[in-house]
């Protein structure tokens, strides 16, 4: 019976459809009616058929509608002219012709803009202005602290001040613990008397600006280890990194990605997660939410990066797989009750990271990308600890640091960067980019220029956008405000700073390099005491517990 009804229903479809698939459709309904016994099953079959009919019928008739000829409103001469509209795919020749025309037009525009920009460059570059020098003088007095330690130091200066949620895994408190009355950091390199030097020579050789992904693949091919000095929580930087790991060429060349934003205690969970296994995300995210080196909540970008590597591995299942190796010390925040418990882990962060690279990368003859804050990797007076350690172990790493177009003071932005593709990687040897002062470039102009040139500080520069376009992504307040994790972050801050801290929740996306502000003046007039240095920073790392 159902077959007869279906045959009638089929008559509702366009003739073309009936001729092509009518028999098969009846066969299908026949099969369903045979296999789906019982009243409910039969009812469901008819409901399905009705729904299918209602959905498909109008579309089928639209598709089968005859092509109409239209009459042009123009009648020229004695005979009317007709245009017949027929749906058809564009001819290949038409597509090619359009493509060539577009390429010529875009090429002409590009050349025109390129020449205009070059013309401006030669006539506007005059080195730092008076305004820049004032800004640099100001920053020389007040911003001689590594950005990473701004927050805890500000809190020490005014214990009543509320702590703004940074989202930036601010680095170490050791600069305040170890630096005496003047915290170490950028200041340790010394300011130039009378302000920064303009080291840019317009005649310097032009740089080879490469698309970042291609340059990174090239570097990964020529070097077993590529070090990337990152800017914490930068949106554009991590957008590119997430794309990079999905690139088949990159994922084929790189075995390990060693990250600062991952507590080694959770390597086992991360291995399973990155390998594509089903792991509760609450277990995996401990790796980046329980970092030892972070002050304040971590940026959500880190979790997204882990997910991107996992997705890349799943995409390439059965082929070469990447691994995320966790380079943060294995301190367990559940067992850290005070600064003395924390001290050994903070004191040995770079040593531990280097040890992880030696054990997990070099000993296995792997290719790796190392990601850590620029401050850890910059060559100031030669290679920093991580690089010197792995060089001693036989590695020959290539160092890329992220930087921007701030080349002097905060307001001294170099327009020559504007013509570069984004993101780009620029080798620094023998060109005017390498001659730029390193500190403003890597700090977005928030740190003063020093004699250190970019070419001495790194092998290449990663450029993901102009300083004022860069965005820092912070953890949403909803994940912290009154939540157990928010309370835990407040507890950690109290340990790190030596007094209670209150979290204030702001926007999740803020400028990466805001204009430096003078620190609040202490109400008492005297400089507040610095956080006492725990004795335990001289202790070796405790034995490593089993990985979770």
Partner 1 sequence: MPKRKLDPLPAAAFQILLALTDGDRHGYSIMRQVEEQTSGKMRLGPGTLYSSIQAMLEAELIEEATRRGDVEPGHERRRYYRLTAAGRKRARSEAERLADVLRVARARKILRGDYV
Phi, psi of 519 (to 5 degrees): -65, 155
- Token duo for residue 432: 């005017």
Among 3, 55, 415, 500, interactor with partner 1 by CB under 8 A: 55
Task: Give me the least distance between CB of 281 and partner 1, in Å please.
Answer: 5
List CB contacts of 207: < 8 A, sequence separation 6 or more. 426, 427, 428, 431, 432, 433, 434
268 sits near partner 1 (criterion: CB under 8 A): no
21 sits near partner 1 (criterion: CB under 8 A): yes
The CA distance from 519 to 142, in Å, is 7
The Cβ-side half-sphere exposure at 1, using a 13 Å CA radius, reads 2
Helix (H, G, I), strand (E, B) or coil at 120: helix
Q: Which is nearer to partner 1, 78 or 85 (CB)?
A: 85
49 sits near partner 1 (criterion: CB under 8 A): yes
**Exposure b/e, 381-391, CB count within 10 A at least 16 = b:** eebbebbebbe
380 sits near partner 1 (criterion: CB under 8 A): no
**Exposure b/e, 108-130, CB count within 10 A at least 16 = b:** eeeeeeeeeeeeeeeeebeebee
Among 15, 64, 205, 363, interactor with partner 1 by CB under 8 A: 64
481 sits near partner 1 (criterion: CB under 8 A): no
Task: Give me the least distance between CB of 298 and partner 1, in Å please.
Answer: 13
Taking CB under 8 A as the criterion, which residues in 74-103 touch partner 1? 87, 89
Is 521:161 a contact under the CB 8 Å cutoff? no
Q: How many binding residues for partner 1 (CB under 8 A)?
A: 42
Q: Which is nearer to partner 1, 31 or 201 (CB)?
A: 31
Q: Which is nearer to partner 1, 41 or 111 (CB)?
A: 41
Residue 312: closest CA among 253, 358, 354, 233? 253
The CA distance from 280 to 261, in Å, is 19
20 sits near partner 1 (criterion: CB under 8 A): yes
369 sits near partner 1 (criterion: CB under 8 A): no
Among 1, 4, 8, 24, interactor with partner 1 by CB under 8 A: 24
- Token duo for residue 232: 């914490």
Taking CB under 8 A as the criterion, which residues in 525-544 touch partner 1? none
252 sits near partner 1 (criterion: CB under 8 A): no
**H-assigned helices in 179-234:** 212-222
Instruction: Cis check for the bond before 423: say yes or no (omega within 30 of 0).
Output: yes
Among 3, 15, 41, 63, interactor with partner 1 by CB under 8 A: 63
Q: Which is nearer to partner 1, 89 or 381 (CB)?
A: 89
Among 167, 297, 303, 440, interactor with partner 1 by CB under 8 A: 303
Cα-trace Rg, the chain: 31
42 sits near partner 1 (criterion: CB under 8 A): no
Among 164, 304, 341, 488, interactor with partner 1 by CB under 8 A: 304
Task: Give me the least distance between CB of 23 and partner 1, in Å please.
Answer: 4
Helix (H, G, I), strand (E, B) or coil at 425: strand
308 sits near partner 1 (criterion: CB under 8 A): yes
The CA distance from 149 to 456, in Å, is 24
192 sits near partner 1 (criterion: CB under 8 A): no
Stretch that binds partner 1, among 159-167, 273-281, 351-359, 449-457 (CB under 8 A): 273-281
Query: In the complex, which residues of this chain contact partner 1 (CB under 8 A)?
Result: 6, 13, 16-17, 20-21, 23-29, 31-32, 48-49, 51-53, 55-57, 59-60, 63-64, 87, 89, 278-281, 300, 303-304, 307-308, 310-311, 314-315
């Amino acid at each position: 019976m159902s077959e007869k009804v279906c045959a009638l229903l089929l008559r509702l479809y366009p003739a073309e459809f009936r001729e092509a698939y009518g028999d098969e459709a009846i066969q299908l309904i026949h099969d369903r009616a045979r296999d789906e016994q019982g009243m409910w099953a039969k009812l469901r079959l008819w409901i399905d058929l009705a729904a299918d009919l209602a959905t498909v019928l109008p579309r089928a008739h639209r598709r089968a509608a005859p092509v109409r000829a239209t009459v042009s409103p123009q009648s020229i001469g004695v005979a009317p002219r007709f245009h017949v509209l027929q749906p058809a795919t564009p001819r290949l020749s038409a597509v090619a012709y359009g493509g060539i025309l577009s390429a010529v037009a875009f090429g002409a525009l590009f050349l025109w803009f390129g020449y205009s920009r070059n013309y401006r460059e030669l006539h506007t570059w005059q080195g730092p202005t008076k305004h820049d020098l004032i800004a640099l003088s100001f920053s020389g007095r007040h911003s001689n602290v590594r950005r990473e330690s701004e927050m805890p130091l500000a809190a020490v200066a005014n214990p009543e001040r509320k702590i703004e949620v940074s989202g930036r895994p601010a680095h170490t408190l050791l600069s305040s613990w170890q630096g005496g009355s003047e915290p170490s950091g950028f200041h340790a390199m010394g300011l130039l008397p009378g302000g920064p030097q303009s080291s840019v020579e317009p005649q310097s050789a032009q740089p080879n600006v490469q698309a970042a992904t291609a340059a990174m693949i090239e570097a990964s091919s020529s070097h077993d280890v590529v070090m990337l000095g990152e800017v914490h929580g930068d949106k554009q930087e991590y957008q590119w990194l997430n794309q990079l790991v999905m690139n088949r060429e990159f994922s084929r060349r790189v075995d390990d990605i060693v990250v600062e934003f991952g507590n080694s205690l959770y390597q086992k969970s991360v291995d399973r997660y990155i390998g594509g296994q089903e792991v509760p995300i609450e277990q995996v995210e401990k790796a980046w939410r329980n970092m030892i080196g972070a002050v304040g909540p971590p940026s959500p970008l880190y979790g997204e990066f882990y997910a991107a590597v996992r997705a890349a591995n799943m995409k390439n299942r059965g082929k070469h797989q990447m691994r995320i190796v966790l380079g943060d010390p294995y301190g367990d925040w559940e067992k850290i009750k005070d600064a003395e418990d924390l001290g050994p882990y903070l004191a040995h962060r770079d040593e531990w990271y280097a040890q992880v690279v030696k054990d997990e990368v070099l000993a296995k003859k792997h290719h790796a990308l190392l990601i850590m804050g620029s401050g850890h990797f910059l060559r100031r007076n030669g290679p920093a600890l991580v690089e010197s350690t792995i060089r001693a172990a036989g590695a020959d790493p290539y160092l890329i640091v992220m930087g921007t177009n701030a080349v002097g003071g905060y307001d001294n932005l170099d327009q020559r960067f504007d013509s570069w593709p984004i993101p780009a990687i620029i080798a620094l040897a023998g060109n005017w980019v390498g001659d730029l002062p390193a500190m403003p470039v890597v700090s977005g102009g928030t740190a003063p220029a020093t004699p250190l040139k970019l070419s001495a500080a790194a092998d290449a520069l990663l450029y993901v956008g102009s300083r004022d376009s860069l965005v820092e992504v912070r953890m949403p307040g909803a994940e912290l405000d009154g939540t157990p994790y928010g309370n835990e972050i407040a507890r950690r801050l109290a340990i790190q700073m030596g007094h209670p801290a209150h979290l204030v929740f702001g926007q999740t996306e803020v400028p990466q390099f805001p204009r430096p502000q003078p620190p609040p003046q202490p109400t008492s007039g005297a400089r507040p005491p610095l956080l006492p240095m725990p004795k335990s920073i001289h202790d070796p790392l405790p034995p490593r517990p089993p990985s979770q």
